[in-house]
Amino acid sequence: MAKYQPIGLLAGRVLLAYIFVLAGWGKMFKFAGTAGYMASKGMPVPEFFLVCAILVEFVGGLMLAVGWKARWAAAALFLFIIPTTLIFHPMWADPAQTINFQKNLAIMGGMLYVALMGPGKLSLDRG
């Protein structure tokens, strides 16, 4: 099994990064609509926070995928998911959000794993 570890860690990083790169990319091209949605959830200065979200998701996702400063990227994405989950997926207020809430908890687990264990040999950080 040890010989498959590098490719498994690469695949895991890419799969974790995929959702963030896609989400960040989408927000760039649906800026006004996304800012409006954020405002509807009570977020102050939604345009500012949307730019922050795009940077964290898109740039952090790419960093995670290629394994450059992957521990920092994973930690930033972990921290980003906390308020995102509480604001946009409050399962206690909307039971329909339960699966999204739980999905985010699982993703947070993956981010913790990368942040603590590193990206693996097949990364720009090499470890």
Average pLDDT estimate for 67-89 = 97
State residue 20's pLDDT score.
98
Residue 40: pLDDT above 90? yes
Residue 127: pLDDT above 80? no
d(CA 21, CA 15): 10
Output the average pLDDT for the chain: 96
Torsion of CA 26, 46, 64, 23, to 10 degrees: -20
Residue 126: pLDDT above 90? no
Residue 63: pLDDT above 90? yes
d(CA 91, CA 70): 30
H helices, E strands: number in the chain: 6, 0
- Give domain limits for the chain: 2-117
State residue 2's pLDDT score.
87
Tell me if 93 sits within 8 A of 45, measured CB to CB.
no
State residue 1's pLDDT score.
81
Task: Write the pLDDT tens digit of every residue in 101-120.
Answer: 999 999 999 999 999 999 99
State residue 47's pLDDT score.
98
Q: Which of 37, 27, 112 is nearest to 77 (CA)?
A: 112
